[in-house]
Amino acid sequence: MSFKEYKTNIEENDTAILYLGFDNMHAIKVVKGQTFQTKFGALRLSNLIGKPYGSRIQCPKGYLYVLYPNPELWTQNLPHRTQILYSTDISLVTLQLDLKPGSVVVESGTGSGSLSHAIIRTVAPEGHLYTFEFHEQRAQIAKEEFVEHGVSDFVTVTHKDVCQDGFGLNGIADAVFLDLPRPWDAITSAKQALKKEGGRLCSFSPCIEQVQKTCELLQQLGFEDITSMECLVKNYDVRTINLPIADLGKNNSALSNTCTALDEKKACKEIEEKADSVKIQTETEDLETKEKSEPMDTDLKEKLTSKEKDKSNKAVDKNKLRTDFDLIGKKEEYSFFFKTGVFPQNMPGHTGYLTFCTLYPS
């Protein structure tokens, strides 16, 4: 199977995503004869072979869907070897580094391969990713995953400590991404890896002190447009609220005033509707009388007729606006309906700061 192109049917040894719910997914390897346990019971993987991706599979106590893997789904289900970047930060990195098919990217470190898969999908088929990892076992596992996922032609994995030894690349990269505890030790080497025409650099750091030290060195080395960002998802709790108007008794002045106001509003509305109707009818009769007395130009007649229709439509729209309150709420005789959107005061989810900068041609 391959992350770079889609295929219709499930084959043996494919990596597939089992979707049991919004927050319940599993990445599996389809091996003939094996069984995978889910909350809906046992799933025989042999039964998946030959079925189309996206199929609904019945289990003993429910059903699930088999999805084709993409970088976003893989990020949510990959085996964690390190802390990873999620789609929120990955999308910002892809945008700010101006990645596109044909781009050459240098990355350190590889980690669990979350960002790597997204970069490969973006730069393929003409581009290439050079990714570096100082931990030998993690580098080897990442290399095996890239082969298994069919994207090994677009990525070169190197076991190397770039903070100490540098990248060893000169003038080949359009962009460099650093996810290191001491990114300032690799910035000089990253500058050498960028093309002579210039390029973009991004550094990911969880602490603001790391960001400050990195920005100071970037400025000294001639990088410009230095910007640090934090990208967080804000989830709103949207609800429909029914706010009743209190009935405090028969002699409640507030309720009486409300009812009186509603009656007056209804009466005014009826008067306006009758006035508009009489006006349109009078204009129509005048037009018919004028047509009988003297011939009228066809174009002028069409313009007048169109004008009457517009007036009539405006009258209908005006009445509609008086009764519909979709943007704010909807008021009935004794209650008021409206939407609320509330977000939590404490927002979990801080991952780190993304620092972007540009190296212009010297």
Annotated binding site for S-adenosyl-L-methionine: 112-115, 133, 161, 179
| Annotated binding residues | 112-115, 133, 161, 179
Of 246, 201, 197, 242, residue with least CA distance to 221 = 201
Q: Residue 246 has what DSSP assignment?
A: P
Query: In residues, how long is the chain?
Result: 362
Outline where DSSP puts E strands in the chain: 15-21, 24-29, 35-38, 41-44, 56-59, 62-67, 104-108, 128-133, 155-159, 175-178, 199-205, 224-229, 237-244, 329-331, 335-342, 353-359
Of 324, 331, 316, residue with least CA distance to 272 = 316
Q: Give the CA radius of gyration of the chain.
A: 33
Of 56, 26, 49, residue with least CA distance to 38 = 26
Of 172, 191, 78, residue with least CA distance to 128 = 172
Q: Residue 311 in contact with residue 194, Cβ under 8 Å?
A: no
Q: Which residues, in sequence order, are bridge partners of residue 267? A: none
**What phi and psi values does residue 91 have, to the nearest 5 degrees?**
-65, -40
